[in-house]
């Protein structure tokens, strides 16, 4: 059976460590004489990640290795989120509603379909997912999202929304579409037959 992409992460083991990086395309030009500076803010914002798996025996390791090889280097994609932040800290953890984007401007979105009159529906640091499958993008909420009597909420998010989106918004188990950071994948095996597997990922844009 052919694989369907983006693939989900294997779930037969946990992940030992995930380092998430938020990369911004900003530049700073400073005078060598006065040290006064000019900042240039470009639109580029993207996630990067380094994933370290726990030490494991061959039976577990080979499942991960086969999954990694199925991605064919940077060609194919997979879904990745913060494994320790599956649920929001805000009230959306227990009352999500059916949120969708109705308006956007850069890093500001207006979402409708949330429960009405809810203080702290989402809190700073919560994750949301916009869209699904290959269109899934992972975002971090930067403000406290209080909903109106009509169930609308204005959210400041990172990274910016790319293009025009009118997608559904997922507030639990949020993931984005990623690809491997390299076409080369390595794994280690020690004298006790313990395998070590690490890999880097970048947001698929």
pLDDT tens string 51-98? 999 999 999 999 999 999 999 999 999 999 999 999 999 999 999 999
Longest distance between any two alpha carbons in the chain, whole Å: 64
User: Do residues 83 and 117 make contact, with C-beta atoms less than 8 angstroms apart?
Assistant: no
Token duo for residue 8: 């989900």
Q: What is the pLDDT of residue 50?
A: 98
Q: Is the dihedral of CA 49, 50, 56, 61 positive or negative?
A: positive
> Residue 29: what pLDDT?
95
Q: Which domains does the chain have, with CATH numbers?
A: 1-81+177-205 (3.30.200.190), 85-174 (2.40.10.170)
- Name, in order, each residue with C-beta under 8 angstroms of 169's C-beta and a sequence gap of 6 or more: 99, 100, 101, 111, 128, 129, 130
Q: Are 137 and 182 in contact (CB under 8 A)?
A: no
Phi-psi region of 128 (alpha: psi -120 to 50; beta: other; left: phi over 0): beta
Contact 109, 153 (CB under 8 A): no
**Is 34's pLDDT higher than 70?**
yes
Q: How confident is the model over 178-190, as a mean pLDDT?
A: 96
Tell me which residue has tokens 């059916």: 98
Distance, in Å, from the CA atom of 152 to the CA atom of 110, rounded to the nearest integer, reads: 7
**pLDDT reading at 1 higher than 80:** no
pLDDT at position 133 is: 95
Lowest mean pLDDT among 31-35, 62-66, 149-153, 174-178: 31-35
Give the other-Cβ count within 10 Å of 135's Cβ.
Answer: 13
pTM of the complete model beyond 0.95: no
Instruction: Give pLDDT, residue 168.
Output: 95
Instruction: Give the pairing of strands 77-80 and 176-180.
Output: antiparallel
The whole-chain average pLDDT of the chain stands at: 96
17/196 Cα distance (integer angstroms): 12
pLDDT in tens, 94-149: 999 999 999 999 899 999 999 999 999 999 999 999 999 999 999 999 999 999 99
pLDDT at 2 > cutoff 90: no
């Amino acid at each position: 059976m052919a694989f369907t992409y983006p693939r989900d992460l294997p779930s037969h083991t946990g992940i030992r460590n995930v380092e998430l990086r938020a990369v911004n395309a900003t530049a700073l030009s400073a005078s060598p004489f006065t040290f006064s500076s000019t900042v240039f803010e470009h639109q580029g914002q993207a996630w990067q990640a380094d994933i370290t798996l726990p030490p494991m025996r061959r039976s577990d390791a080979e499942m991960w290795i086969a999954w990694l090889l199925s991605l064919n280097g940077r060609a194919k994609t997979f879904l990745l989120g913060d494994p320790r932040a599956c649920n929001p800290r805000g009230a959306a953890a227990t009352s999500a509603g059916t949120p969708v984007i109705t308006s956007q401007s850069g890093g500001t979105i207006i979402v409708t379909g949330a429960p009405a009159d809810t203080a702290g529906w989402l809190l700073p640091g919560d994750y949301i997912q916009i869209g699904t499958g290959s269109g899934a993008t992972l975002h971090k909420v930067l403000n406290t999202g209080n909903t109106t009597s009509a169930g609308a909420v204005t959210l400041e998010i990172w990274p910016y929304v790319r293009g025009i989106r009118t997608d559904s918004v997922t507030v639990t188990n949020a993931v984005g579409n990623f690809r491997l950071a390299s076409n080369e994948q390595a794994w280690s095996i020690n004298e006790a037959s313990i395998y070590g597997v690490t890999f880097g990922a970048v947001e698929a844009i």
